[in-house]
Structure 1
Amino acid sequence: MGLYRKLETDVDIEAPAWKFHEIIHKNPHHMSNIASDKIQSCELHEGEWGKVGSILYWNYVHDGKACVAKDVIEAVDEENNSITWKMIEGDLLELYKSFRITIQCTPKDKGSVIHYTLEYEKPHEDIQDSHGLLELCASMSKDIDAHLMGKTNEGSSIEVGAPKA
């Protein structure tokens, strides 16, 4: 039996949900300019930017280490500002049997809430849960928000919620 896990967190931002979604959905290649300390590049490997079935290749920094990921856009819901990527190659799959990231951007009275869901299967109990990657996602959200709002993002702190089973 697999050891399936799910980690989730919410990040409050000032930018509109649709603007945030547009960056991660249709323009992820701009994230290396927005959060260069976290994302070095995002390249389209196959398909079209933002289209289901397209394959992206990422160079990023996770826990102080240069990493790579190749993922396929598994689902997009433009009405609900949601996107899901499924990892098909890369460093995360050296630790986990499968890995999926879903990001949903929800408008609120002022700003938006960015909800991250990481779903993965561990090959055995000794593998740590991916709290570091969840923190990376949350921190990147603040960088994207600062970019969209025309601010710098120095000294921000990120609080990641507890995992949900």
Structure 2
Amino acid sequence: MLADLCGKLETDVEIKASAEKFHSIFRHKPHHISNVASHKIQGVDLHEGEWGTVGSIVCWNYFHDGKPRVARDRVEAIDEEKNLITFRVLEGDLREHFKSFVITIQANPKVGGEGCTVHWILEYEKLHAVPRRLPPSVAAGLLVFSTFAYPPPTPQSPFH
């Protein structure tokens, strides 16, 4: 029964920004992400703590399926050497479907090239076993952060 409730989705997204720059933005300046992904992310606010610290609370305002959504997350882990940050969703639209939802983002430098590959891990436990499969709109929403459709960095881009 628990296997029906728990799941893990992983995907990789290649971007032109360096791994260090991408990680630094998600760790210290996530409020700048809306500058390059305003079609998905409307804003990011710090609710508790300090930017870039474990335990801080961050609120994401994003668009999915034509509707404004919100996620209030706690920074669970940061590994500077691995360019890794983990968020746990505490409140918001995802909690309507999930008992727990954890997002891990790791930026890995490309070998022999510019840019990096961003590895997204989404681990979740659904509130209910039925339906067995996630509704398509919810499944798509799980990958909202990995579908920014990153444009190449521009001088005004936080990923430049």
TM-score scaled by length of structure 1: 0.83
Q: Does 1:128 align with 2:130?
A: no
* Displacement of 1:135: 3.9
Q: Identity over the aligned pairs, expressed in percent?
A: 52
* Displacement of 1:114: 0.3
* Displacement of 1:25: 1.1
Q: Does 1:89 align with 2:91?
A: yes
The question of whether the paired residues in 2 share the 8 Å contact of 1:69 and 1:87 is answered with yes
Gaps of 5+ in 2: none
Q: Which amino acid aligns with 2:130?
A: E
Question: Which residue of the partner structure matches residue 138 of structure 1?
Answer: 146
Residue 116 of structure 1, aligned match among 120, 124, 139? 120
Matched ranges for 1:1-165 at <5 A:
1-2=1-2, 3-108=5-110, 109-110=112-113, 111-122=115-126, 123-126=128-131, 128=134, 130-140=138-148, 142-143=149-150, 146=152, 149-150=153-154
- Two-structure CA RMSD over aligned residues (Å): 1.9
TM-superposition CA deviations, 1:34-74 (whole Å, max 9, x none): 21111111100000001000001111012221101101000
Q: Point out 4+ residue stretches in structure 1 off by more than 4 angstroms.
A: none
Gaps of 5+ in 1: 153-165
Give aligned pairs, total: 148
* Displacement of 1:13: 1.6
Q: Equivalents in 2 of 1:48, 1:114: separation in Å? A: 24
TM-score scaled by length of structure 2: 0.85
